[in-house]
């Protein structure tokens, strides 16, 4: 391949770097025109490494590298970019063993002190959970930048090592939004939501560090779990001023979900209606449907589902779970059954145990226990669990159906015999019909089975 073609090839690669089909066509042309060509620039191959390693098929970056090795081409000299992209491919493949082999190659090639290559290795080991190796590479680096520190901090928080992450964070020469986000996300992942919110306030108020969209997304789980409406409103206001709400649909969708879970469905609806039709995506619709569901507004959820379909968006399993939950809490049994049929027949979505749970809960609430039992019996064995039958037993208790309750209890005992709540519930059903001998027999069976008795708890 002639050198005068190099700028043209580079411009093509840069123009179509995100297009898998275009990159593969260019790759094919490179091979066809002679991979052995002395005029072939390593920059061109690095663009291919970059596309494959960051795309949906990182394995192709590894295969490309192996092909070069098999050809033993003296004219090909892998540089720091080549190895960095190759390490990124190992990261995305989550193959630390392969990454360790690449690590050895980087040492042989003289990149053992190269900051970008070593940072890529720290990130790879951290993402894959090899924290000892990540720490070792980090400690041996003569020079580090903020990306290096953040890679290790993020890895430690991801794997629950919040203490080590905080220690590293405190030693960091210059803390930035990324490092603060990593620590906040770590506390949120460990369900230490008050600490996460406290850190977020320190970051924004005391340290005057501007949060990024990722920081906002990291703090939303804590806001939702604490039900902090005031925090939700503050984040909403900040997002409006900074432009996050307008430019990042993920922030807006999270805001809808947070408002609903903080008890303010009106604000959730307002945020939803503020999204233009062009920007609304499936997550937007699912969030508002889920919000209506948790507030018992089944009719609004069903109407939203239909409007979503009018916009030609195909619901997924999460959307169906939300609408089934809405129908269950809103008493819309026939609508719920129709949505379940739509999920199976029209959308070809295979229901999981949560979908079946919503369906049985919905039928149980309305006293349609025979239908609920029939559906429970049809659940595939590989996903069936005892919770489904406990839900049905609770419905039998509420509606006073002894016959079905006895059959359900037999199913429960086939799966688990040591949970005292099941025995107590059936005993109470018997007692409610003055069958005290049977009630006592169930209590005796509970004692013989050494079933655990969960003590009562009061916050008063």
- pLDDT for the residue 5: 56
Q: How many domains does the chain have?
A: 2
Determine how many CB atoms are found less than 10 A away from the CB of residue 386. Answer: 16
Q: Is residue 63 part of a domain?
A: yes
Q: Is residue 436 part of a domain?
A: yes
- pLDDT for the residue 156: 95
Q: Is residue 20 part of a domain?
A: yes
- pLDDT for the residue 16: 62
Tokens of 50: 């970059």
Q: Which tens digits make up the pLDDT trace of 1-46?
A: 444 555 666 666 666 666 666 667 666 666 666 554 544 567 777 8
Q: How far apart are CA 89 and CA 181, in angstroms?
A: 24
User: Could you say which of 103, 120, 143 is where a domain stops?
Assistant: 143
249-261 and 213-226 helices, crossing angle to 10°: 10
To the question of pTM greater than 0.75 for the whole model, the response is yes
- pLDDT for the residue 228: 92
Q: Is residue 303 part of a domain?
A: no
Q: Which tens digits make up the pLDDT trace of 212-271?
A: 999 999 999 999 999 999 999 999 998 888 888 788 899 999 999 999 999 999 999 999
114: region left, alpha or beta (phi > 0 left; psi from -120 to 50 alpha) = beta
Q: Is residue 74 part of a domain?
A: yes
User: What's 389's domain CATH number?
Assistant: 1.25.40
List the chain pLDDT tens, one digit each, 460 residues: 444 555 666 666 666 666 666 667 666 666 666 554 544 567 777 878 888 888 778 888 888 888 777 765 554 578 898 899 999 999 999 999 999 999 999 999 899 999 999 999 999 999 999 999 999 999 999 999 999 999 999 999 999 999 999 999 999 998 999 999 999 999 999 999 999 999 999 999 999 999 999 999 999 999 999 999 999 999 999 888 888 878 889 999 999 999 999 999 999 999 999 999 889 999 999 999 999 999 999 999 999 999 999 999 999 999 999 999 999 999 999 999 999 999 999 999 999 999 999 999 999 999 999 999 999 999 998 998 888 998 998 899 889 898 998 898 888 888 877 777 878 888 888 888 888 887 888 788 887 776 766 555 444 4
Q: Is residue 215 part of a domain?
A: no
- pLDDT for the residue 430: 84
Angle, CA 168 vertex, CA 164 and CA 169 arms, to 5°: 115
Q: Is residue 265 part of a domain?
A: no
User: Could you say which of 143, 172, 199 is where a domain stops?
Assistant: 143
- State the residue range of the domain holding 414: 379-455
Which distant-in-sequence residues (6+ apart) come within 8 Å of 58 by Cβ?
A: 52, 88, 89, 90, 92, 93
- pLDDT for the residue 38: 46
Q: Is residue 223 part of a domain?
A: no
User: Could you say which of 143, 178, 200 is where a domain stops?
Assistant: 143
First to last CA, the chain: 81
Q: How far apart are CA 372 and CA 381, in angstroms?
A: 16
- pLDDT for the residue 332: 94
């Amino acid at each position: 391949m002639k050198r005068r073609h190099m700028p043209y090839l580079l411009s093509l690669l840069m123009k179509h770097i995100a297009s898998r089909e275009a990159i593969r066509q260019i790759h094919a042309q490179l091979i066809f025109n002679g991979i052995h060509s002395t005029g072939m620039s390593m920059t061109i191959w690095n663009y291919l490494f970059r596309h494959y390693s960051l795309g949906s098929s990182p394995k192709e970056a590894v295969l490309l590298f192996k092909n070069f090795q098999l050809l033993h081409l003296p004219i090909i000299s892998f540089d720091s970019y080549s190895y960095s992209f190759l390490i990124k491919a190992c990261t995305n493949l989550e193959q630390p063993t392969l990454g360790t082999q690449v690590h050895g190659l980087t040492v042989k090639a003289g990149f053992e002190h190269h900051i970008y290559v070593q940072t890529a290795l720290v990130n790879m080991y951290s993402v894959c959970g090899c924290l000892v190796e990540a720490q070792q590479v980090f400690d041996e680096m003569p020079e580090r930048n903020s990306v290096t520190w953040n890679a290790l901090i993020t890895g430690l928080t991801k794997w629950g090592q919040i203490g080590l992450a905080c220690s590293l964070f405190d030693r960091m020469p210059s803390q930035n939004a990324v490092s603060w986000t990593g620590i906040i996300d770590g506390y949120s992942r460990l369900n230490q939501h008050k600490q996460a919110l406290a850190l977020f306030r320190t970051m924004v108020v005391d340290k005057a560090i501007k949060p990024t969209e990722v920081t906002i997304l990291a703090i939303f789980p804590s806001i939702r779990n604490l039900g902090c409406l005031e925090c939700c409103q503050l984040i909403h206001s900040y997002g409006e001023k900074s432009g996050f709400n307008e430019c990042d649909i993920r922030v807006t969708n999270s805001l809808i979900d947070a408002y609903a879970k903080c008890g303010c469905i009106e604000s959730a609806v307002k945020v939803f209606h503020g999204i233009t039709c062009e920007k609304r995506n499936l997550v937007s619709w699912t969030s508002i449907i889920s919000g209506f569901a948790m507030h018992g507004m089944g009719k609004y959820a069903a109407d939203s589902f239909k409007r979503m379909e009018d916009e030609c968006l195909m619901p997924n399993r999460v959307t169906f779970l939300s609408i089934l939950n809405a129908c269950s809490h809103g008493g819309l049994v026939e609508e719920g059954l129709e949505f379940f049929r739509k999920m199976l027949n029209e959308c070809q979505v295979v229901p999981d145990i949560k979908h079946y749970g919503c369906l049985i809960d919905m039928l149980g609430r309305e006293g349609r226990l025979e239908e609920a039992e029939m559906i429970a019996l049809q659940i595939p064995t590989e996903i069936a669990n005892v919770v489904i039958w406990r839900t049905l037993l609770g419905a039998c208790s509420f509606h006073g159906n002894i016959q079905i309750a006895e059959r359900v209890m037999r199913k429960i005992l086939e799966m688990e015999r040591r949970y005292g709540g099941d025995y107590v519930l059936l005993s109470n059903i018997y007692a409610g019909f003055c069958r005290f001998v049977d009630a006592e027999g169930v209590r005796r069976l509970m004692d013989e089975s050494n079933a655990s008795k969960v003590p009562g708890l009061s916050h008063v």
